[in-house]
Copies of this chain bind each other. A is one copy, B any other.
């Protein structure tokens, strides 16, 4: 952390500030230039209150050089994090490293027939995980809110039948006990900074799929991961799902440059949700291929057997046929990136 003092601040005034900083456990480099005094803080500055510093009448500017996250930081954990779990047909599946993980399924579970049929289709096409919503975050209280516990049971049945591990969204802490059998717990974009929920998930030992908020920065996303990791749960997958933009040709703006940026700053795996990002089924194949080329570790894609009658997000769901054909392309792109699906 670098603290530039205002012009005209005396050495004595500055030294009082230095003393108060040293009490907080950091060493301070003192640089007295012709124009102004600059302090360089050395040590663990994550607990330094930079807001109070900015309010200090001696201070002109505070610049954090060090990232505010530790456990999610590649500097302190150079190797890629790889999550591994049992998959279909007695094989292991993993997210991160040399594997490209495809998670597919409907926006929401609607019936036993629907979820089982989609599960079979996506498994056949090569998906490693089944997604499906039981508890749905909907903008309107008058929209279908998901099947709830019954939806969760149907997901588990589909897993039993296909062997695909399941990924589904948790909306509040009290639901946690219902998720005991779930393989990967999803935290939605709107809950990315629901800190009470994140803390609770830090106490869990389940893998967490953490979606980027609609207007969250790279640092905020990693700080949300840090909340979970600070509690002891390091099994986290980050997910870019589009940010709010000014145009409306697609629902959101898919920010693929986030992928190389995250891979450089953090060791956590990063996947992409092209369905929610664009809101348009016909864009999903192009954006899926772009995601893999940009370095993503996987995809979460909406597939529905009858998009025109989907109870939610039909416009963005691709059919099993389109998904199968997309998977064929993805195999070739994964090969170029040295990854296997």
Contact = CB atoms under 8 A, between A and B. Distances in A.
A261 B142 CA distance: 23
A86 interface: no
Contacts of A87: none
A254 interface: yes
Interface string A288-325: 01111111000000000001111111110100000000
A65 B4 contact: yes
Given A217-B246, A226-B140, A54 B336 contact: no
A281 interface: yes
A308 B52 CA distance: 5
Nearest to A260: B286
Contact of A52 (B63, B250, B260, B311): B311
Contacts of A278: 257
A55 B142 contact: no
Given A140-B46, A171-B195, A258-B249, A315 B54 contact: yes
Interface residues of A, number: 105
Contacts of A32: 29
Interface string A28-58: 0111111110101010001101011011110
Query: Which of A218, A290, A291: most chain B CB closer than 10 A?
Result: A290
Interface string A200-224: 0000000000000111011110010
A2 B290 contact: no
Interface stretch (A77-85, A93-101, A186-194): A186-194
User: Chain A interface secondary structure, helix, strand, loop or mixed?
Assistant: mixed
A294 B291 CA distance: 9
A30 B144 CA distance: 27
A253 B255 contact: yes
How many chain copies does the complex carry? Answer: 4
A261 B257 contact: no
Given A214-B215, A246-B246, A195 B283 contact: no
Contact of A315 (B51, B249, B255, B332): B51
A304 to B, nearest CB: 9
Contact of A31 (B29, B46, B144, B261): B29
Interface of A: 2, 4, 27, 29-36, 38, 40, 42, 46-47, 49, 51-52, 54-57, 60-61, 63, 65, 68, 137-144, 171-174, 190-191, 193-197, 199, 213-215, 217-220, 223, 226-227, 230, 243-250, 253-261, 264, 277-278, 281-283, 286-287, 289-295, 307-315, 317, 329, 332-333, 336
9 contacts: A31-B40, A47-B143, A56-B308, A141-B223, A217-B249, A249-B257, A260-B283, A286-B294, A290-B293
Given A138-B195, A292-B293, 7 more contacts: A27-B33, A33-B40, A56-B308, A172-B172, A191-B194, A243-B245, A257-B286
